[in-house]
Amino acid sequence: MTTDPRLVRYPADDAAAYRAAGLWGTATIANELTRVAAAHPDRDAVVALDGRVTFGELDTRTDLLAAGLLDLGLRPGDPVLFQLTNRLDAVVAWYGVLKAGLVPVCTLAAHRGHEIGEISRRVGAVAHLVEAGTRGFDLVGFALDQQRDHPTLRQVLVVGDDDRGVPVTSLGAGTDPAAARVAVEKVQAAIDPDDVAVFQLSGGTTGVPKVIPRLHAEYWYNAAEYARSWGWDSTTRVAHLIPIIHNAGIVCAVHAPHSVGAALVLGTADLDESLPLMAREGATHVLLGHGHFRAADHPGFAAAAAALTQVVLSGAKVPPALFDAIEARGIWSGQLFGMGEGLFLTTRPGAAREARATTVGTPLSPHDEIRILVPGSEDEVPDGEVGELACRGPYTLRGYFDAPDHNARAFTSDGFYRTGDLAAVRSIGGDRCVSVEGRIKDLINRGGEKINAEEVELLLLRHPRVAAAAVVAMPDPRLGERTCAYVVVRGEPLDLPEVQAHFAALDVAKFKWPERIEHLDEIPRTLVGKTDKKRLQAAITATLTEENP
């Protein structure tokens, strides 16, 4: 096992108990894929808009890709930044990178210099994998820029056609498959199942994104238990429309179906192309995030839903009318609550309608422990009352990577992760179900992408005319929430284009740019002197209601 002081390990007793209980295996993620591929070589592993592979093909192609990566001089443990959209080669590259013993870093295709610079330095990224030909932005050129003056980044890898980087999918093309297999086996044999497999990014902490280390055994267990919770087998066909290189994408749509030999039907956010794909491929399961809560109103939904047996709603509180509408179409639906840090809750098949319609269900693992705490304390509230959801268990992190100060605040004294979400426990049909009731962490949930309010405020304050700033979520019918910035200025008022130009100049990902600016003479404060965000949020909500009655 590697010893890295930046990594907080599970206590040895807990790790031993999880393994003894049969939750954690002893294989790496790459070896889990090879085992499943041997059992289901001819079944579809991935069906995407731009191509398809069986498990047998995926296993062979990713061996070659891994051999090619090793030939480039990349070494096991080297972090690789991923900036890819939902396409077949994103999944091929995922497993190829893992097979070479490299560590994928789940940055988003939408991230820019502000995010990538910070994250790549934090993890010591060695390679940057980007997609060629993305609309409106040259990711390859961006990756070449990022490499300049960077202490560790030395390789630009490209999915698609662009000769400015190393074309990933043709890597290892000339290698003998048997030799590639030997190279992969050698690398994998040296990896401990409790070593870091993947770096995810946190959606819900202060300042710049925190890095979440996910380890081989616990991460695969998370996915396998997710597949079990929905009762999947190798005939299941899981559709996914939201970003795949993200915790929900990797757990729910890549590792989970693959843990049982099931297919991933990989679409994009565009329903016009994804619903026909689901119809053609007979998708049986789909996860709908907030941006797709209205998918059932799309004219293509009926055909896409012909083989669907499970629709899972996630990412934000589910309106009762939405649940009713899906039920009225004769489709079973349930809910998922999950986070990059670990904990997942689902409403199992067989769960009471009330549980599926009004709660996010129960934790995946019998070894998950959850507590609802009086915020800011370690005292539990009684069942039925709202408090901060805290959790500990066999796939929830015990500390962010290289963040000792933050970890001291983010965990209780006995290692429960404070989620920043408000929740209550309700007894339904004998189950202790959790309902999500809001959050105390200061972020905006924009269609599933989390925007840290403090990060945006600090960026606003770098504008010479901004004297004070407070950023809040404003309701949005499509995305759930968008960003509204309240500012106090010196001199002339600022308009939205000026603010956007400021964020562009700072090279900040576009989804974080404020989408509305409101001016104030001063920022309102609570009795204890904190920014009164509740008041600002109520004010912008009222304004929007007035504007769009």
> Is residue 471 part of the contact set for ligand AMP (CB under 6 A)?
no
> Is residue 315 part of the contact set for ligand AMP (CB under 6 A)?
yes
Up-side HSE of residue 332: CA atoms within 13 Å toward CB?
A: 15
Report, in Å, the least distance between residue 159 CB and ligand AMP.
23
d(CA 92, CA 97): 9
Nearer to ligand AMP, 130 or 336 (CB): 336
Span near ligand AMP by CB under 6 A; candidates 217-225, 271-279, 334-342, 470-478: 334-342
Span near ligand AMP by CB under 6 A; candidates 54-62, 132-140, 333-341, 492-500: 333-341
Nearer to ligand AMP, 104 or 203 (CB): 203
Burial classification of residue 350, based on how many CB atoms lie within 10 Å of its CB (0-12 exposed, 13-18 middle, 19 or more buried)? exposed
Residue of the chain from 214, 292, 450, 463 that contacts ligand AMP (CB under 6 A): 450
Q: At what angle do helices 55-71 and 29-39 cross, to 10 degrees?
A: 150
Residue of the chain from 166, 316, 322, 325 that contacts ligand AMP (CB under 6 A): 316
> Is residue 256 part of the contact set for ligand AMP (CB under 6 A)?
no
> Is residue 292 part of the contact set for ligand AMP (CB under 6 A)?
no
What x/- string results for residues 61 through 100 when contact with ligand AMP is judged by CB under 6 A? ----------------------------------------
Report, in Å, the least distance between residue 434 CB and ligand AMP.
10
Report, in Å, the least distance between residue 284 CB and ligand AMP.
21
Rg of the chain, C-alpha, whole Å: 23
Nearer to ligand AMP, 340 or 393 (CB): 340
CA dihedral 141, 146, 149, 155 (to 10 degrees): -80
Q: How many residues bind ligand AMP (CB under 6 A)?
A: 20
**Nearest residue to ligand AMP on Cβ basis:** 203
Q: Which of residues 187-226 bind ligand AMP (CB under 6 A)?
A: 203-204
Nearer to ligand AMP, 316 or 325 (CB): 316
Q: Which of residues 125-144 bind ligand AMP (CB under 6 A)?
A: none
Q: Which of residues 337-376 bind ligand AMP (CB under 6 A)?
A: 337-340, 360
Residue of the chain from 84, 436, 472, 517 that contacts ligand AMP (CB under 6 A): 436
Return all residues near 145 (Cβ < 8 A) that are at least 6 apart: 113
- Closest among 121, 107, 304, 113 to 212, alpha carbons compared: 107
Residue of the chain from 106, 248, 266, 479 that contacts ligand AMP (CB under 6 A): 248
d(CA 494, CA 491): 9
Report, in Å, the least distance between residue 396 CB and ligand AMP.
12
Span near ligand AMP by CB under 6 A; candidates 124-132, 168-176, 261-269, 335-343: 335-343
DSSP label of 285: E
Report, in Å, the least distance between residue 439 CB and ligand AMP.
5
Report, in Å, the least distance between residue 500 CB and ligand AMP.
24
Report, in Å, the least distance between residue 336 CB and ligand AMP.
6
Nearer to ligand AMP, 274 or 419 (CB): 419
Rounded to 5 degrees, φ, ψ at 516 are -160, 140
DSSP string for 292-353: GTTGGGSTTHHHHTTT--EEEEESSPPPHHHHHHHHHTT--EEEEEEETTEEEEE--TT--H
Nearer to ligand AMP, 234 or 412 (CB): 412
> Is residue 322 part of the contact set for ligand AMP (CB under 6 A)?
no
Q: How many CB atoms lie within 10 A of CB 477?
A: 8
Quick check: helix, strand or coil at residue 396? Answer: coil
Report, in Å, the least distance between residue 194 CB and ligand AMP.
22
Q: How many CB atoms lie within 10 A of CB 161?
A: 8
d(CA 363, CA 360): 9
Return all residues near 400 (Cβ < 8 A) that are at least 6 apart: 8, 202, 205, 210, 211, 212, 213, 406, 407, 410
Contact call for residues 250 and 228 (beta carbons, < 8 A): no
Report, in Å, the least distance between residue 290 CB and ligand AMP.
9
d(CA 467, CA 487): 7
d(CA 220, CA 199): 14
Residue of the chain from 6, 19, 43, 317 that contacts ligand AMP (CB under 6 A): 317
> Where do the DSSP E strands lie in 365-506?
369-373, 387-392, 417-428, 431-439, 443-446, 449-452, 466-476, 480-489
DSSP label of 395: T
Span near ligand AMP by CB under 6 A; candidates 10-18, 269-277, 330-338, 484-492: 330-338
d(CA 296, CA 319): 14
Q: How many CB atoms lie within 10 A of CB 300?
A: 17
Report, in Å, the least distance between residue 172 CB and ligand AMP.
33
> Is residue 243 part of the contact set for ligand AMP (CB under 6 A)?
no
Which residues of this protein are in contact with ligand AMP, per CB under 6 A? 203-204, 247-248, 314-317, 335-340, 360, 419, 421, 436, 439, 450
